[in-house]
Homo-oligomer: A and B are copies of this chain.
Amino acid sequence: MATAFQELEQRWAEIADIQNGLGILGWDQEVMMPRGGVTARSRTMATLHGLIHERKTDPAMVGLVRRLSRKGTKLTPRQRRAVALARKAVDKAANVPADLARKIALAESSGVESWRAARQQGDFSLFADELARMVDLKRELARVRSKRGKVYDALLDDFEPGATMADIDPLLNELKTFTQKLLKRVVNSGVEIDVSPLVGRFDVEAQRGFARSVVLAMGIDLDRGRMDLSTHPFCGGVGPGDVRMTGRYDPSDMRGGLFGVIHEAGHGLYEQGLDPRRAGTPIGGAISMAIHESQSRLWENNVGRSRPFWKYWLPRLRRAHPQLKGVNLEKMWRAVNCITPSMIRVEADELTYNLHIVLRYEIERDLIEGRIEVRDLPDRWNGAMVDLLGVEPANAAEGVLQDIHWASGLFGYFPTYSIGNLYAAQIMEAARKGIRGLDRRIEQGDLLPLRDWLKTQIHGHDQVFDAAKTVRRVTGKPLSTDAFRRHITRKVKAIYG
């Protein structure tokens, strides 16, 4: 069967080439494109997406993956895995009626427009009809795909292959419960953290230079990537040879810039750590969104907000910003770990962040499963904010309209953020066991042992193993909330008593 498998690889390489083109065009759109390029770019990207869909649903491709999937086909285990991944992608493309796919594509682009307008006005009603249409289309898509079981699972699978509500519900429930308990402890402690080391006036070029040193110390290879500026930081491009990270620096608040860049560099290391020999094959690329997010979160939170990290980097940050002269390690460590319930997910601290996610997960799950409707959203959102975080949005812009995800059709994406946090803590515990004196190395500014360990354990395997197998291979256990609970409880106790 070597020939049929080779044909699959050839066909897949062409799809990957187009996908890589989209990676650069998407980056350019956010980072470089002048305003006048919008129309041509949208057309080009839609056409390239269409070509990928055409290639995946080509009867020859569909026949090929079906033939290769048959029992008795002589394939190595890796080839079998590649065929399974290809077949899943092909089936996903082939099973969606063209008319539904077109309607969804249209709803996604008009959804973002109308969301933007509504958010600017702080008026959910301007977006409600559009969102309701989107939800109907996504429900239909999910129903088409899920032959049995829960429809939400069909959407979740786009971001977290193989994950189901049955897996996620208990994890996020546990996470919610102990986070709320810890948050109560924080709020009742009366401890006030001084964030003045991070909030004030900070030269933007100095911030950029410092962030760059950290990223280089993490082992990002700028011969195989770039760092640029963009309104919304992200990591894109074409892994592993051309990985593009962006950042954004606020002169009055250092947090978003520094931790944003560390976060994106965590994603970047994953992409740069993929095996170039598998690039463009069905088994090449990252495992799932949550595993990707675990890499960014591990660097941002488990490393970047740790004492050993700041032991090395604080003196360097002081040189970049001389006004920090009087700030000692303890003060800086507390400042970067300040916990405050707030309205906006992307500004949330390491603890309350997960409550923002639980809120969104429960709402989108119930919405897709038909237990609530779009008109119920603002009340449900505001009620949940009060329940979970004890704060109430003054308007929809700082409430239900704050994220672009639903407007652009991303249902099933949100939970991967928190699942990523859980993976991150569990993987970091394993790294501490796997790397002798890891914290001492971090204290010395030597971040490469951790990068190399992550590459050997995770990045370099591409999609040979799925998320569940990966976490068991790397940590010896299935995913649980234990490691994250230990990590965050230790921190909260140390800072808030």
Q: A interface vs B, CB < 8 Å?
A: 13-14, 17-18, 20-21, 24-25, 28, 32-41, 43-44, 46-48, 51, 221-226, 237-238, 240-242, 276, 279-280
Contacts and interface: CB of A to CB of B under 8 A. Distances in A.
A164 to B, nearest CB: 34
Given A17-B46, A37-B241, A40-B238, 20 more contacts: A18-B51, A20-B43, A20-B44, A21-B21, A21-B25, A24-B24, A24-B25, A34-B241, A36-B224, A36-B240, A36-B242, A37-B224, A37-B237, A37-B242, A38-B241, A39-B276, A40-B241, A40-B242, A40-B280, A43-B280
Contacts of A35: 223-224
B34 A21 contact: no
A234 B223 CA distance: 23
Contacts of A28: 24, 28
Contacts of A242: 33-34, 36-37, 40-41
Contact of A51 (B51, B238, B276): B51
Nearest to A276: B39
Contacts of A241: 34, 36-40
Contacts of A44: 17-18, 20-21, 24, 238
Contact of A48 (B18, B38, B41, B237): B18
A229 to B, nearest CB: 13
Contact of A37 (B13, B39, B46, B238): B238
A43 B19 CA distance: 11
21 contacts: A13-B43, A14-B47, A17-B47, A20-B40, A20-B43, A21-B21, A21-B25, A21-B48, A24-B28, A24-B41, A24-B44, A34-B224, A34-B242, A35-B223, A36-B223, A36-B224, A36-B240, A40-B242, A43-B280, A44-B238, A51-B51
A39 B242 CA distance: 10
B34 A225 contact: yes
Nearest to A32: B226
A41 B238 CA distance: 9
Nearest to A28: B24
A73 B76 CA distance: 59
Q: Which residue of A33, A37, A51, A280 has the most chain B CB atoms within 10 A of its CB atom?
A: A37
A389 to B, nearest CB: 41
Contacts of A18: 44, 47-48, 51
A47 B44 CA distance: 15
Nearest to A54: B51
A13 B39 CA distance: 13
A36 B44 CA distance: 25
A185 B38 CA distance: 53
A40 B279 contact: yes
A254 to B, nearest CB: 27
Nearest to A37: B242
A276 B37 CA distance: 11
A35 B240 CA distance: 12
Contacts of A17: 40, 43-44, 46-48
Contacts of A46: 17
A17 B76 CA distance: 40
A34 B24 CA distance: 12
Contacts of A43: 13, 17, 20, 280
Contacts of A37: 224, 237-238, 241-242
A225 B36 contact: yes
Nearest to A41: B242
A14 B40 CA distance: 11
A280 B47 CA distance: 13
Nearest to A39: B241
A50 to B, nearest CB: 8
